[in-house]
Amino acid sequence: MATFKHSFDHAGFKGDVEVPVGLFINGKYVKSADKNAKTIPVVNPTTGEKLFDLPEGTEADVDLAVKAASEAQNTTWGENVAGFERGKLLMTLATLVERDADILASLEALDNGKTFGAARGFDVPEAAACFRYYGGWADKIHGKVIDQSKDKLTYTRHEPVGVCGQIIPWNFPLLMFAWKLGPALATGCTIVMKPSELTPLTAAYMSKLITEAGFPAGVVNIVNGYGQTVGNAISGHMDINKVAFTGSTAVGRKIMESAAKSNLKKVTLELGGKGANIIFDDADLDSAVRYAAQGIFFNHGQTCCAGSRLYVQSGIYDKFIEKFLAVSKKITVGDPFGAETFQGPQVSQTQYDRIMNYVECGKAEGAKVLTGGERHGKTGYFIQPTVFGDVTSDMKIVQEEIFGPVVVVAKFDTEEEVIAAANDSIYGLASGVFTQNVQKAHRVANALHAGTVWVNCYNELHSQIPFGGFKASGIGRELGEYALENYSEIKSVHVRLTSYVGPVPAA
């Protein structure tokens, strides 16, 4: 079994951690079925140095994982296990996540670069809350008796979809693991999971907790690898009945195409965004400034729902800019294990280069850098919090998702004008509205083409509240009761209570 060992020694946690990083199939850690399989270097984004070599999964490994998941679906899980029992296992898993919170947060900071404080204060507790929330749902998923006539008993059943493929991103490795597993396990589905090859550590550690919690072998299988191999094998597999993906819109299109060309499996996609955050003249200015900074710089800007387009009404524009720049310049960028650090490194050299290319593009198109716009430090993948002013709607930095600590700020005069500007995007994942006028808040929220609208707050996510996008931001919803629909098939059952009464004559 391949393992990764690391000694942590920081203010939040001190200790040695061992993580199994092989493929997790049918409850065991195994080598790839392909003898020619290679390894993938996993890099510490803080230093740019390699942490370890991750065993690479292949299409053959996906086949084995699907067979294990199918066997579990038909024997030890699904409708063979009462919802109450599934719920108990999910709640046990939530408790184990809370027990090992310091370890999980440290692993997130190590291979992702997010700060230990953010992971410990948000990602880990929200992951535990997600498992506990869906644990509560597991025995409450049921159909209805429908009063069709006195001669018939007609009812519906909610049955598990079956084997599900789940492909999660690198920006919230642990949280996305929980978002995907929670509703799938609650409804009785089994899973073949592909974590990002950039950030495999928390998924690998979670495999230990899944076993400790008592889930039967084969219910959750984890196959590491690249998207073009493992991801493609999952999305096109004839024995996977549903695929869930979180990531870029471009890859989402490929997954949807592959799913359609195979067995027409169910698809949910949580994709990119270019969140419009609207600040009206009557907003609580200090609160709006801090939420705006939270909206873009949280998780180093590597957030699909980031408020990366700021629209500020002309009456407060100058005051807002002054305060927003002051907050932006005070953000501490550095070691993710540092107690005062708010922004760590971007996740990889590729992501760093992509963001910096957008920064240079913004400069070339004539946008004005109000602060930042450069590398931070000499090692690692750090970027200064960057604010662009003097932008126009046709600029790439206004239209395209940057996925980094880069925000564009534009001035507006009227409500109608800003609604049109906010909706002028292929994306529709999230938006924000800051105003103390309740009528205006509801009016604008209703007019915005986005799956989530935050009013007088931003980037606040909860397990009970559905999350997903309009337009190119995706299909379906994560979280809340709505997510259960993604993993359920609805069956109608007709039971006649009387003898045949149709037109065919008796024998």
Q: Are 368 and 389 in contact (CB under 8 A)?
A: yes
User: If residue 153 lies in a helix (H) or strand (E), which one and from where to where?
Assistant: strand 152-160
Q: How far apart are CA 276 and CA 461, in angstroms?
A: 17
Rg value, the chain, Cα: 24
Tell me which amino acid residue 479 is: L
Active-site amino acid positions: 270, 304
Give the strand pairing for 276-279 and 309-313: parallel
Of 275, 239, 79, 272, the residue nearest 165 (C-alpha): 239
Range list of β-strands (E), 332-467:
368-371, 386-389, 406-412, 427-428, 430-434, 452-455
184: helix, strand or coil = helix
Angle at 237 between CA 231 and CA 243, to 5 degrees: 60
Cross-sheet strand order for the sheet of 152-160: 145-149, 152-160, 488-496
Q: How far apart are CA 455 and CA 121, in angstroms?
A: 23
The β-bridge partners of 30 are 23
- Max CA separation in the chain (angstroms): 90
Q: How far apart are CA 133 and CA 119, in angstroms?
A: 19
CA torsion, points 248, 251, 253, 255, in degrees to nearest 10? -130
176: helix, strand or coil = helix
Q: What are phi and psi of 465, to 5 degrees?
A: -105, 125
DSSP secondary structure letters along 228-287: IIIIHHHHT-TT--EEEEES-HHHHHHHHHHHHHTT--EEEEE-----EEEE-TTS-HHH
Task: Return the structure tokens found at 449.
Answer: 């083409």
Tell me which amino acid residue 186 is: A
Q: Are 172 and 123 in contact (CB under 8 A)?
A: yes
Q: How far apart are CA 369 and CA 362, in angstroms?
A: 8
User: If residue 220 lies in a helix (H) or strand (E), which one and from where to where?
Assistant: strand 220-222
Q: Are 386 and 369 in contact (CB under 8 A)?
A: yes
Q: Are 422 and 281 in contact (CB under 8 A)?
A: no
Q: How far apart are CA 321 and CA 305, in angstroms?
A: 22
